[in-house]
Structures are given as structure tokens and as C-alpha cells.
Structure 1
Amino acid sequence: MFKRPFVVKSNTFIRSSDRRALLNRINGYNAETFGKTPFALAVVNLPTGETVNVYTVDKQPIFFELVPQKLMCPTVYIGWLYPKAFPTFFVPEQALVFIRNGADLMLPGVLHSEEHPLPNVEKGDPVFISVRDSANKTVIGPYAVGKTLMSTVDMFLNNMKGKGVHILHLYQDELWAFGNRDSVPSFAAKDVLDVVDKYSESEKVYTNTVDVDLAAEFNTDEVLEAFGIVLDKASIDDTPEEPEDEPESEDELLRRVFLYAVNNKIPADQKYPIDAGQFYASFILKSLPEGRRLDIKKTSWKKFTVFLNDVNSTAGEGNWFVKVSSKKGIDSITELNTKHPEVKSAKSLTPNSSEPRKPASGANGRVDITEQLSITDSSLNALKALIPKCPYRKGDLVTQSNVAKAVLDYITLQCLVKPGGKCQLDDTLSGIMTNFSNGVININDVVQKICGSMTKTYVISTPDGRTITKKTQLQSIEFKVEKRAGNKQVTLVNNLSCFGIDVKEIASKVATGVATGATVNAEAPVCVGPQLLVNGNQINYIAELLQKTYGLNKKYIKGMDLGVKTKKGGRK
């Protein structure tokens, strides 16, 4: 990144408030911790057109920020003062030739053994890269700084192949030359190699910020002394914060909002039935007070339809709140009891300023689909064997990365890691693999064995903020072209409701976009939910609308090949 000279656009001292925000980002110190020594911000333009913020103390660059990604990274100068401040990858001296020539760090070139265990990182974390001189029992560097291209778990899943770290800054580049141009130091191996500890529960996991509790590795007094800064310890406020009031539970919030919505939000001329999902999006979510967020998955009901079927049990003997009917798997509200005493006395909802409101996933008008795994009895037994205090229960949703991390934590804690992404089988792993020999096996094989006993599950975040969970095969949106009276073509679109798409809304968009008629068929055969019918062959337009506006992957759409073929020259 800094291989070629850059242009310094500005170089100014930063204000106290900006300095405080910076220090909170890099290590959580108060601004007063660094006394009154000024910090400077140099905004530099790279030859590639990128803008980078370089933070300096006494003209020494200490951190740089990639502006678009808002990623704060240390310079090699910080690494030379405190080599344990960030996770470190160790490489042999032979790898320096490739790094100097501008190559990224390839995983086959990374040392990973019992003496050099990999640090626990996530994708995009800033890391140091140091050189291991085994002959002299020393560590040289950090020689470079980069950001990880995959997590530690994914590195093992890929059998330590491919690119692991994208190099951002290294010794003798232009950013190094922006400082006092010191030579790269070397450290005794025994003083540095314990930076990457094994994954015990009592040990910390490195993140993309400097850990303030690493007193020995990143000592405050030493940092200040190195940069000529006087520490004003009297200014540090150790007064504990007062505990906040216990927040309202999700169950209580949902019931309170439901009663309020029935009393205040339902129009007098409201027509029934109302789709349960649309009611939740149009009335429940819009009735939430400013500053509150409702997560239906954190309630005891998990689904809004389950709540609707259960809420009448709290209405009192012989009374009710809502009547629900189900047809072809679609739940609808057929009647609401606006005269119930609790409904009529529902209090106005007041905002909670202490809890900022966050938009629900998918509430930006797009569909988000994630493929997860549902825990079964057999997989739960395997996870309990790996995790001492297993937090999972049957039916919980996890990802393959969650399983891989559990496996990796176990084999690291038990010292079972072998080179090449492999591990030694012990009694626990042998029981999981039903292989009772004391051999060596790929770590990925253990992960796949556990995942294979789980149920594949689709979690769909709908455009209106709802979450739909399907443990069966997810039906695709399907296009069909049929001929009607007068030999006129019509386009049929099935199963839009499976993805939480409002068929009436998309019908309006299509009618406006292609200037043709679009109607909704509420009860179409071989279709889940309402069917969209559009005059003419409009498959190309609708498919593009689904992919670009709603964010659907084309693998969930069938029949796109039935659209009008475009001839050469752009004519149809």
C-alpha cells in the first residue's frame, strides 16, 4: 500500500475531542491519560487514489486508518515497542523475499506448530508479521502489518492454503520513511512467542483493538515515556458507573405493543382477513416507541403467529383478543376484539432514550437469506463432549463456523493440533468420528462429521423486517409463461410469499416499470401464497427487479430462461 511515495494533503494537530475518540478506538484510554502532548493527523493521498489517515506523536507515525473501511492499524514502530500488542503471524526468513516484492502472505508460508500456534483472529483483523530466526533463537520484527483475509477457523478449514493476510505496510516502505527510519529490531524468542496463547477459557481473545489489560505487553508508562508524554494519573476517573434499571422483557414489550396497536392503529374501515405477517410489519413494528427494538426471536413464542394463537389465553375466561385462521400455511387475522377492557385501557407507548432503535435485519426493503444448521440429538451430544459448559440446546441454529470454532478450541486446549490442518484423535474425537484408532485426521473432517448430523435450515429476513425460518427445502420463486384469450401471453410468478415479499407491492412496481397490467391471484394452484400475474412476457424485468431491488440470489429463482431473448444489436 505504501510502496510508492504518497502526497500529504494536510498535517494538523487534532482537537481534544477527536483525540479522545481516537484513543477510545485504539485502546480505551481517556484523553487525559496522555497528558497534553499533541497528536497530529496527516491526511495522505496514495497513488492509487485511496485516502489514508496517519496519526503521529512527535512526528512518529503510530497508527494509520484506512478511510473507506474505517480500519485502524498499527505501524511497525508500535510493533517494535510492543510486539505483543496485536496478534502475530510468524514466517521463516525465506518468506521475506516474497513480502518485499509486494506479495500477500500465503498460508503455506506461515509457521504453525506447538511452538508457533496460530493467533485467534477474525476476517479483517489487523495483525503483525514477524520473522522467526530459529538458528539464533530470535524473532525479527514485526516486519510488516496486514489485515487477515479469513478467520483462524477458516484457515484450518482451508487446510492452511490460499492467501491469509493482505500486506498493508512493511519495513522500509514510504510510511516507515515518514517516521524516524529506525532499523528493524530482534527479540529473544522466549520473550515474544508467548504472544499467541492457546485457547483456554481464562485467556483473552485478541480483537482489532489494543487490549488495555496487557500490562506487561503494552505498558502505559512505557508508551508515554517512549513518546515523551507525561502521565497524569490523578485525572483518571475510577468512579464506577451506576447500574441501569432492568429493561422490559421482550414478551412484555410484544404484548404491550400488540394491545396498543389494536386500540390505536387499526383503521375503522379495516378490511379482514389481514395477513399475520403484514399485520406485524404494518402495525406492530410501526407502533414501537422511538428508541425501542423488538426481536421476535427473543420472545418465548419465537414467532408472531404463535403469539397470536397464545395471547387469547391471557384474555380472561370467556374473552378473547384475536381470531386467527390458517389456509395453505398462511396465517390470517379474521377479527380483532377492540372492546376488550385491556385493549381499551392500553397506555400510550413512551420512548426509551437509553436504547437507540436499530433497524431489523432485512427492514431495508431487501431479502436476506442465510443457510444455517439446526442442532439434533446426535450433534448436541458431540458439542457437549467438546464444550465443557455447552450453551446449545436441541433446535438451536448454528453455522459451520460455530462448529469449527468449538472443534478448534477443543483440540487446541487438549494440545492435539498437528501440522497441515490435522489433529490427533483422542477418546472424545474418536467417539465423534466412530473411529477408535489413535490416528491423525483432518480437522475439517471432524467439523463435517458434526455438521452432517444437523438439519439444514434457511433463515429469511424479509423486506419488512420479519424473520422466517424454514427447516424444509426452500421453494424457489418460479416464473411461468402462459397464453390466454386472444393468444396473449401472461407472466405468472409463484411463491413470492416464501421470501416475505409483498405481492401487492411488487405488482405495483412492475405495473409502473413496464407500463402494463399486473394483478394478484389470492388462491392460485401450486403456489405458496398469492400469485402475481402480469400481461406480456415480463420475466426479464421482474427477475432484474428481484435481484437488484430485493437482493435475491438468482439460485432462488427458476424459469428466468423463459424471458424474451435479446438478439444482437440489443433488439428483442
Structure 2
Amino acid sequence: MFSRAFRVRSNTAIKGSDRRKLRADVAAAFPNLSAEQLAEFIPNKEELNVIKIYCHKGEAVTVYMNNKNPVLFEIEKALYPTVYTLWVYPDLLPAFSTWPPVLQKLAGGADLMLPGVVVPPSGFPQVERGTLCAVTLLGNRAPVAVGVATMSTAEMLAAGMKGKGFAVLHTYMDHLWEYGDKSNPPTLAPLVTDSVDKESAEDEEMGGKEPVISLSTDPLQQMNVGDLSLQEQDSCAILMGKEELDENRAAETAEDASTEGLQEPEDSRTPQEQMDALFNQCFFHALKCKVKKSDLPLLTSTFLRSHMFSCCPAGQQLDIKKSSYKKFSKFLQYMQHQKILQVKELNKGVESIVEVDWKHPEIKAFAVPEGFSSASAAHDSKSEDREQVYHAPEIIPLYGVSTKMIPLFQESGHKKGSSLSSSEVRNIIINYVKANELVDETNKNLVKVNAILCDCLLDKSEQDEISHLKWDDLLSRCLERLQPLHQVTFFGQEPIVRKGNIEPIDINIAQRSSNKKVTIIKNLELYGLDPQCVANILQQKVQASATITPISGTKDRVQVQIQGNQIHHLAKMLLEEYQLPRKYIRGLEKAPKLGRKK
């Protein structure tokens, strides 16, 4: 989340009442903190600052600072500790270890995959899916990353330690860490029992190979940011060897399990784990087969009721209360952390799914369960073919030779109605002046006006007074007296030349009965946009009614009318999605001013 630079929106000192509320929130989020630790964590007198930031993907995050170090960050009312906090309280979260070379990948924005997680002899801490966890490096108990578990401990082991294990939110060496004093992790020795067990286990598993032993002893004293790249090849080779060992062990375990019965892992799952698995199945089934891109934004309640419920297998029933999430919003929040979808509060108190990553590996890899229509499984591959991608047209201003300008252009072989670009007009004028030796001998910035230039470029009142023109004045007068044209080239089509300058897309706000406002959009057809399609997309985006009405005084021209001032949504669509130049859109300045969110 903080792998790239973020933008600071505000930085204020926390008030006394907010400090007490924060302390209560921290106590609720981290109940294993003692009263003394809590008072030290959120002190009464020391200055605490609240910083509002926007991450590179647009996420709004609140950061709490203590002694110039970020100690907490808050996303959607959920609190997360930073590495600075975890270095003081290393046992605040359940911890999982990884190899030192993996840290560089995590700091670059990667999630932690299970093959990179070291399995300790004493076993993993028992966590559920969605549990907040710390990540440490082998040989040092000081956490270097904070992430959310994507599987429960039982699911990790059942998967043979393959797949994504943790969605990483924050790491040592990322931009949030850089916002503090940039101190390095302390060296915290592992627990004595774990250390002894680890050494004996490594001797048994790796045959006492020196590279592994040297890597596992105090890696932070051996490695800094510069050393990481130098050691990467050797360390990655060790990591690959460890992954192969883990895969071989998992394969042996799978073979042993097959002799005892393949149904045992499923039967051993708790009812809560079974409900989590059912929610996952219905979620990916609904995204792959039920939801279309044109359906977005989609109310979260509609998604659950109309899409996920219909994907539930016969004889089973979705019940969020029986899952580990307890609330559907928590389930969607977890999926948002996985970057599968994005949920926003478009209306107060009502959340909608506004974006889905259809190319996400988990959506692509999902297989429709038996008993459902196979035709629906082809939705993902066919939906992209059905959608027509809009390409903004190429628009070039041109100039047509008018009757009055024929004498000036006929020497270059052009006649009335010939269309020319501005550069072609410029070259023709320069060649005409040079061919007729009209450059003033004493001042080369001036051009002598002969009879043809006089008739073509000067008004009657000027013909007796002006004998010379500057080059810029000569060219501008020539362009003014030519007929304006424009050439439009739509994607995959031949260029079209039209008279006049192209009209911009016109956006207006009108008042209707009961003091209601509507947004009116005209001239979409000139840019190859289907007004009905634009109306449908806007209607779904803003959840407001949209209509198509004819424009009075024109033939075959219509306008889009949608309730409310929707210029912000319209601007995002036209400028960002359709890539239309801003100069061809008129009325964007009429957008409502956004109030500060409380």
C-alpha cells in the first residue's frame, strides 16, 4: 500500500477527546496490551499528530504520529500498527517468519507467498483468515511487515504451503517507514526453545549446510539495503532449495493422506471454515458468471442477494453470521485488500462495488462447480469480446480556399474548396512571397503588399494606408480569411472532412421543477459516442435516472439528460476513460464544489 509515495492532505495535533477515543480503539483492537503499555503507547501529555494521506491508488488513510514516527494507520475504521510500534511490542501480533531476500520484494509492493514462509518446528501460530499478522525475518523476532492472512493456519497446511499467504499492507523500507526517523529494526533474539529447535531441525532437514546456517543467524547484522541486492542470487538459490524441499514434503504428505482417505481434510474443517469456503466459492462464481462490467456500480446488498445467493449449491445456505467475517462488509473489505474489487460509499450509508479486477488470477483460476450451467462459465472470456472499446477520434483543424483567396493560392495549384493544414498554408504563403520578391530589402521582417495581397488580405479602408505587413500579421490575416474546416478520423475508418470548427461536447446544468437540477450533455455524436450508451453508463454509475431527448431545431440530434449535477462523474468518464482532450469539452467548470468530508 505504501510502496509508492503518498500525498499528505492534512497534519493536525490530536485533541484530548480524540486521544481518549483513540486509546479506547487501540485497547479494543489489541486486547493483549496491558494498561501500562497502553498508557505508554498513547500517552496523555506527549504530542500526537493525525495525518490524512492519499496513497498512489487513491486510498484515504489516517496515520497517527508519536515522537515523529508513525505508530498506527487506519483504513476504513480498522487500526493497524506500523513496524515502529511492533519493534517496541514485538508480540503484539501473531508472527510468521520469512527469508531475508524476500523483504526486498515485500517492500516493493508484493504480497507474501506461502513458499517463502518458514515452517517452524513448533508449528505456526493458530490464525483465522483475515487475521492481522506480523512478518519477521529468520533469526530476528523484530517484525518487518504487517499483513492480513488470506488463509487460516489449517488452510495453509492443507494447501501444501502454496499460494498467497498474506496480503501485505506495510513494510520496513516503504514510504510510510520513510515518513518516520528511518531507524533500522532492532535485533531481537528468538525465544530460546524456538532457537534450539530451529537449529536442530535445520541440521536434520538441510544436512547442516553452511549457507543456510549462516543465513539464519542474525540476518539483519549481515544485510542492509545495499547488501540485499549483492546477496540476492545466493539467497534466492537457498530459498528455491527450501521451496523444493517444502514441495517434496507436501507431496509426501499428500501421498500419505491418500492412503488414509481423501475426504479427511474436508471432514475435519470446522463449520466456520466451511462457511468461509462457501462464501469464497459463491463470491468468485458470481463475479465470473453473473456480474458484467456494465452492471457497475453495483449495490453490495444487491450483489449478495441477487448474485451470490443464486450461486449457492443446492442444499446449502449462505449465512454470514456463521463465517469468521460476521459481517458482509468485512468480507468485502478483505476482498478489497486482495485488490479483487473496490467498494465505495456513493451515497450516505449505502456501499457499492465500483470496480472489479476481472484479470485477477483468483477470478481467472476459479472453476465453476458441477451442476451449474457451463455456458455461464464462458461469460468472462466473451464479455470482453462483446464490449466495444472506445477510441477517441483524431481531430485536425483544416482551412478551405475561399473565392476571395483563389488568386493567392492558384499559383500553387489549389482551387476553391481545397483543404489545407495550417503548416501547408504557411509554406504556400512563404513560397509566394519569395517567388514574387516581396520581402522588404531594408527590413526582412516586413513583406511588401502587392495587388493580390491587397485584394485578398486588406479591407477597403486599409488598402490605401498599408503598404507593408509583418510576417505574423500576414499569416494570421490569411488564416482568418480562409474557410474553417476540420478533419475527424475515427478508429478503423477513413478520415471525414467537415465544414466549420468542431463543436465541443456541451455540458449544462438546468433547473427543473421543485428546484431540482439536471445535467444536459450535447454533441456526443460528433465524437463517435452513442448518447444512449453514455446515458446507460451514467445511470448505473450515479444511480440516477437518465433520458434521451431530441434537440429542438436540429435533425437527428439528441441530448442526454440525467438527474442532479453529475459533472464530476462525466468529467472522469470523458477525460480518463474515453481519453478525450479537455479543449473539446465545454462546461466542466460548472461541477459542484466538493465539501470537506467529516
- TM-score band by shorter chain is 0.3 to 0.5
Q: Which has the higher contact order (CA 8 A, sep 6+)?
A: 1
Length-normalised TM-score, structure 1: 0.35
**Structure with greater Cα Rg:** 2
| Structure showing the higher helix proportion among its residues | 2
Length-normalised TM-score, structure 2: 0.34
